[in-house]
Amino acid sequence: MKRIKAIYPGSFDPPTNGHLDLIERGSKIFDELVVAILRNPEKEDPLFSLADRRKMLEAMTAGFDNVSVDTFDGLTVDYALRVEAHAIVRGIRAISDYEYELQMALMNRKLQPDVETVFMLPAEQYSYLSSRLVREIAQLGGSINGLVPELVEQKLREKIDVAHKFANSEQPEGKTPSEGKKKSRKKKV
């Protein structure tokens, strides 16, 4: 019997409960699901290193027998072919996601007609959740409880504590705290 393998590509910076929800749903309908982290996203400065994101996703998915985590470079469809996947899973939270996702899915189909894109809907409570908002809320001191798994929350807190300490120690005389932070943010922590 044919086994259906899918990849779930993304930046996962950081992985959220919305990603986890989709992984769980995907693991139920595909025989095999590979969570594939893009190595060099256009986004120049990810908050978490690739190794950190991989570790977090591996811990989050440890309970699923048919889910694995990998990283990839280049075109998603080329990666899908390399690992012999039949489908690309993407989550659609709201209609606003649809335009971008549709464009990407159609372009991927043009590049590689044999790989299908499957859109999946996360649970309603995650329909407004995004990695970008999680990063922003955490960096500005808001609560991200319930938005990300506990281990991600812990990692975010550690990262932001280090960034704040670094910013405070680097703050040049006569600069406002925000100016000091802006300057140090360029350096990776």
- Supply the residues annotated as catalytic: 19, 43, 93, 131
- Considering the complex, what minimum distance in angstroms separates the CB of residue 20 from ligand PNS? 14
In angstroms, the CA 99 to CA 29 distance is 25
Residue among 14, 29, 93 nearest 60 (CA): 14
9 scored as a contact of ligand PNS (CB under 6 A)? yes
38 near ligand PNS, rule: CB under 6 A:
yes
Among residues 4 and 104, whose Cβ is nearest to ligand PNS? 104
Please say whether the beta carbons of 57 and 37 come within 8 A: yes
Least Cβ distance, residue 138 to ligand PNS (angstroms): 17
Query: Does 120 help bind ligand PNS (rule: CB under 6 A)?
Result: no
Q: Are 8 and 26 in contact (CB under 8 A)?
A: yes
Q: How far is the CB of 102 from ligand PNS (least distance, A)?
A: 11
58-77: which residues touch ligand PNS (CB under 6 A)?
Answer: 75-76
Residues of this chain that interact with ligand PNS (CB under 6 A) are 9-11, 38, 75-76, 104, 107-108
